[in-house]
Structure 1
Amino acid sequence: MSKEIEQSIAAKDEEQRKLQLAIHKLQALEQQQKQYIGNISHEFKTPLTSIKAYVDLLNMYDDDPKLLLEAKASIAKETQRLYEMVEKVLQVSALEKYDFESQAELLEVAEGLRDVCARMSGKAERFGITISCDAEPAHIWIDKESFMHIFINLLDNAIKYNVPQGTIHVHSELRDNRVRITIRDSGIGIPEEARERIFEPFYTVNRDRSRQSGGTGLGLSLVRNLVEKQNGSITLLETEGEGSVFELSFPAT
């Protein structure tokens, strides 16, 4: 009887411990949601404020051709930024709230990387950036759309935060039964104090530069989610000079 009572008490203590843990997790999740909503509101407010300011100016000085040209360009830029933010917020939210339904298939990595580089070459040329790709033949099992989202986001960042006449180098190799892909750029780099936060939603190293380039602070958060859903990993490597290097690793097939 005594042993049964002890077992009953131990079971109740374990259930109480699990309940307390669940409560703490729910409280943490609630705090994260509040912070997430606050960040969204703040980031959306910035381009909307700019659009509203130009609309007000046009209402006051609608006969100023110089202001009209400036307003059209700025409103178009801020509208595009809002559109990209909405798209990425929806993608991040879908990944965090629901089970990810992917259609994995056998992908030839070198071919996929060359395809992504070709798609981004036009934008790179507009900014005077050169993209090169050096990829070994290898196969991974991955959702193709996720693969495209991952590397388009990474290349887009490498273009936005690069320097005039800069370079981006994409390299992949098969090592230790994993396909390792690096994206190296000659851009402004990422300071040491920001390295632990760059994958957080809405975090940007340089807010002024992000607004000029249309950055939302959501790209790397989305990339990490997509990579991890595909059984991969992403790491920001140490660099001795300027620029950034991201390494992604996926199980080889």
Structure 2
Amino acid sequence: MTTAVSRRWRPRSLLQLVLLAFLMVMLPLAVLMLQAGQALSELSRLADQSARQAVEETRRARTLGALALDIERGARQYAVVEQESLLDIYDERLAEFRRLLARQRELLPDDPNVKALSAELDKLAELPGLPLEEFKDRLTDFLSFAEHTEAMRHATNRRIDDRLDVIRARAEGVQRRLWWQTAALVSASLLLMLLFTRLIIRPVRQLERRILGIGSGGQEAKRAPVQGPAELVSLDERLDWLASRLDELEEQKQQFLRHMSHELKTPLASVREGSSLLADGVAGELSDHQREILELIDASGSELQQLIEQLLDYNLLQHNRRLEAERLDLATVVKEVLAKHRLALQQKEMRVACFDGPLAWWADRTATARILDNLISNAIAYGEDGGRLEIRARADQERLVVEVANSGEPIPEEDRPRLFEAFYQGRIRRKGALKGSGIGLSVAADCARLQDGTLELVGDSRLAVCFRLTLPRPAPANEHDASTPALAGVQERND
């Protein structure tokens, strides 16, 4: 259950968390867009204003140059034709030049050419009142007037270029500032994305681990409660309920199996004991037909007992996965298992070829015996009468390989992918009075898997069916005895 503190600080819902994440991630980007818009607006306004001023000042400088030429031209025309109207035009152009020069002085307040032009204008304004001869002698004043006008025009162009350089430098500064702001704000957005992604993914991963833990059936360690949106916290609480419910169902199943195994074994033992007494002639001699029926009852009881034991083994493997490895002689284990099936092998008239020991290896005795027992039982059940059963083994420094092969009908290709599934029965029918449970190979595969090994169906050049068990080399801590033999031979015998 969640605590009051976790409820206080977690978002109320997943939708609120997603919306909050979207707004928080978009906020730095919105600030960046706003600042970029303001900077671009400022640069645009400055560029527009500077362009207008540059055009106006350039045009005024050109107009002053043209007026200087017109003033000089008008004075020289008057000196030639001596018309009074030309002096009026001369005065008007001087006045226009003076007015434009005053505005140009605002642009170039400290320029010496502007000051020189003001003095030149005063001198040129005296010309209309002079006698004609003196007027003609003063025409040389226009040379310096034209030079100062041209110099003022160049100064104006330089001032415009300087202003453009200032605007360019300011634009570069704004660009650099925008780049730094972009890097900072985008980084902030990425950090916020990572933060909110973690806030969303972390409880989801906690739930995923919880579900995997429930599915694997392992005992959960002490875990922190899920802190996050209300929907995920509620889901965690439902998983708690589901886990407790599954534990209850598992306990009920275990109890049912324990009771059923006891209830089934007790009357089955009585049946087998009674059939054994009848076979011993306690109730009188039996006819051949009666003995045949009694043998069928005893064989069926043995099959039923084996099915019950397989079912209990399968259930035990699903929940008790702790193994105890010990150094054992694999040849001895194989002989013990073969001894259990001696009567069945004699009845099938199967010839058994088994490797010669000793073959030492570190493994769990019970799990390894279960594998061999199920493989041999499978060979007896599905192998041909009077056929052949071979048990081969070899070992090196890395792994142990055990093969159980028998003659008979090959396993169809369509059955092989599901061969080790629990309760799956293929197309080949089991030979005998009772139908199999379909869990023998599943139990064997689980026993191999618990020892970090594999059990697989492989091809064999001589026999139709061959199962290969591969067990890896145990941890070095367990290997403090003599090294295992490299190869175990094969010794044939008839049971």
Indicate whether the TM-score tops 0.5: yes
Distance 1:206 1:230, change over 3 A: same
* Greater alpha carbon shift after TM alignment, 179-188 vs 207-216: 207-216
Count matched residues: 220
* Greater alpha carbon shift after TM alignment, 234-243 vs 142-151: 234-243
Instruction: Say which one has the larger Rg.
Output: 2
* Greater alpha carbon shift after TM alignment, 157-166 vs 129-138: 129-138
Larger relative contact order, structure 1 or 2 (CA cutoff 8 Å, min sep 6): 1
Q: Per-residue deviation at 1:229?
A: 1.0
Q: Distance in 2 between matches of 1:114 and 1:83?
A: 21
Q: 2:313 aligns with which of 78, 86, 91?
A: 91
Superposed, 1:140-219 pairs within 5 Å as: 140-175=361-396, 177-206=398-427, 208-209=429-430, 212=433, 214-219=435-440
More strand by share: 1
Q: Distance in 1 between matches of 2:304 and 2:333?
A: 29
Which residue is 2:171 aligned to?
Answer: none
Contact 1:169 1:185 in 2 (8 A): yes
Superposed, 1:129-148 pairs within 5 Å as: 129-135=350-356, 137-148=358-369
* Greater alpha carbon shift after TM alignment, 2-11 vs 139-148: 2-11
SS at match of 1:110: helix
Q: Per-residue deviation at 1:137?
A: 4.3
Q: Distance in 1 between matches of 2:364 and 2:216?
A: 31
SS at match of 1:195: helix
Contact 2:375 2:441 in 1 (8 A): yes
Q: Once the two structures are superposed, what CA deviation does each residue of 1:187-231 show, in whole Å capped at 9, x if it has no partner? A: 222111100111111112246436645422111011011111122
Superposed, 1:90-129 pairs within 5 Å as: 90-96=312-318, 98-129=319-350
Q: Distance in 1 between matches of 2:333 and 2:294?
A: 37
Distance 1:187 1:94, change over 3 A: same
Q: Structure 2-normalised TM-score?
A: 0.39
Contact 1:81 1:214 in 2 (8 A): no
Q: Distance in 2 between matches of 1:125 and 1:70?
A: 17
Gaps of 5+ in 1: 38-64
Q: Once the two structures are superposed, what CA deviation does each residue of 1:35-65 show, in whole Å capped at 9, x if it has no partner? A: xx9xxxxxxxxxxxxxxxxxxxxxxxxxxx9
Gaps of 5+ in 2: 1-187, 218-241, 243-248, 254-286, 474-478, 480-495
* Greater alpha carbon shift after TM alignment, 110-119 vs 184-193: 110-119
Q: Once the two structures are superposed, what CA deviation does each residue of 1:152-187 show, in whole Å capped at 9, x if it has no partner? A: 111111111111210000010114621111111002
Contact 1:117 1:133 in 2 (8 A): no
Contact 1:136 1:173 in 2 (8 A): no
Contact 1:188 1:242 in 2 (8 A): no
Q: Structure 1-normalised TM-score?
A: 0.71
Contact 1:162 1:187 in 2 (8 A): yes
Q: Per-residue deviation at 1:6?
A: 3.1
Contact 1:136 1:172 in 2 (8 A): no
* Greater alpha carbon shift after TM alignment, 67-76 vs 238-247: 67-76
Q: Per-residue deviation at 1:14?
A: 4.3
Q: Distance in 1 between matches of 2:335 and 2:300?
A: 31
Q: Per-residue deviation at 1:238?
A: 2.4
The alignment status of 1:15 with 2:203, answered yes or no, reads: yes
SS at match of 2:418: coil
AA at the equivalent of 1:226: C
Distance 1:119 1:20, change over 3 A: closer
Identity among equivalent positions (%) equals 24
Contact 1:180 1:249 in 2 (8 A): yes
Q: Distance in 1 between matches of 2:370 and 2:466?
A: 18
Distance 1:157 1:112, change over 3 A: same
Contact 2:382 2:429 in 1 (8 A): no
Contact 2:448 2:455 in 1 (8 A): yes
Distance 1:110 1:86, change over 3 A: closer
RMSD: 3.7
Contact 2:415 2:427 in 1 (8 A): no
* Greater alpha carbon shift after TM alignment, 191-200 vs 232-241: 232-241
